[in-house]
Structure 1
Amino acid sequence: MRELTYRGVVYPWHCDHMGHMNVMWYAGKFDEATWNLLSLFGLTVKYMKQENTGTVAAEQRTFYKQELLAGMTVYIKSGIIEVKDKSIKFFHEMRNCDTDEIAAITFYTGIYIDNKERKPCSIPEEIKKLAADFVTSEIPQP
């Protein structure tokens, strides 16, 4: 299942000397989508603070498909590829709202950690069960 996890605008200050959105802003928009995706299955900031846990990105691979310019609107749909004991693999697909063309795709491996120990720990079973509902076989191709 792919879920809408972000919708926004490319502002002029997002653009670099080439006139298109700089890679740092793709990463920022993907990060916002990540927090929205995690919250869909219970990994909210409130939950992680209560449990003294967190998430870290262990790997990120991004593929840029199309330039985005100031004034364009984008949306991101996300899905989970795999849920393991201590990690979740997921993706985000950013699309141009006007053309529906893919602007970028990113793949993440996130690790669940114990904030006190600063080490990976097991994702709680109830969270894994909820996350499993968002696993999809419709994985975008770079």
Structure 2
Amino acid sequence: MATDATYRGTVYPWQCDHVGHMNIMWYVGKFDEANWNLFARLGLMPSYLRESGRGMAAVQQNIAYKRELLAGDIVEVTSRLLEIREKSIRFRHEMRNAETGEVAATCEITAVHMDRQARKSAPFAPAIRNVALDHLDPEPAMA
């Protein structure tokens, strides 16, 4: 899964701040779009979420900014599923400048599968959990 982009796009001039680089709100937005593409690969499609009354909620998000992105830069995000638990998943996005290959930012998120009506966490359906287990890409051991 790590080699398949979960987001591709460009940096528009109106996404840049007074310093001339993409403003942090747009990094978050592009990572959010990658979330939904990753979720779809796991079976958490919009139709499933609507029909089952389920939803996904981020409970922790850590972003590291590594390099600037400027107007006109092409952006690509790849994603890795790091952990699946009964009711939550943890994954990592890596945003690159598609032309240079340089990592612009990383984002690690923990998200909870929830019952939207009860407003509580809920276990993943077995079919979704099984797909997620097939995509699991644990972090390499620290040296």
TM-score range, shorter chain: over 0.9
AA aligned to 1:82 is E
> Which residue does the alignment assign to 1:74?
75
> Which residue does the alignment assign to 1:96?
97
> Which residue does the alignment assign to 2:57?
56
Provide runs of 4+ in structure 1 moved above 6 Å.
none
For the aligned residues, what is the CA RMSD? 1.3
Q: Distance in 2 between matches of 1:82 and 1:34?
A: 15
Q: Distance in 2 between matches of 1:85 and 1:91?
A: 19
Q: Distance in 1 between matches of 2:138 and 2:128?
A: 20
Instruction: Give the CA deviation at 1:137.
Output: 3.1
Q: Distance in 1 between matches of 2:134 and 2:27?
A: 26
Instruction: Give the CA deviation at 1:138.
Output: 5.0
Query: 3-state SS of the aligned residue for 2:68?
Result: coil
> Which residue does the alignment assign to 1:83?
84
Query: 3-state SS of the aligned residue for 1:128?
Result: helix
Q: Distance in 1 between matches of 2:9 and 2:134?
A: 26
The alignment's TM-score, normalised by the length of structure 1, stands at 0.95
AA aligned to 2:53 is N
AA aligned to 2:74 is T
Task: Work out the percentage of aligned pairs sharing the same amino acid.
Answer: 46
- 8 Å CA contact 2:83, 2:138 repeated in 1: no
Q: Distance in 1 between matches of 2:8 and 2:81?
A: 19
Query: 3-state SS of the aligned residue for 2:78?
Result: strand
Q: Distance in 2 between matches of 1:138 and 1:89?
A: 11
1:129 to 2:133 alignment? no
AA aligned to 2:38 is L
Deviations 1:82-140 (A, max 9, x none): 0000000001000001110100000000000001101001011110110112211356x
Instruction: Give the CA deviation at 1:4.
Output: 1.2
Q: Distance in 2 between matches of 1:121 and 1:72?
A: 40
- 8 Å CA contact 2:7, 2:78 repeated in 1: yes
> Which residue does the alignment assign to 1:112?
113
AA aligned to 1:34 is N
Query: 3-state SS of the aligned residue for 1:133?
Result: helix
AA aligned to 1:45 is P
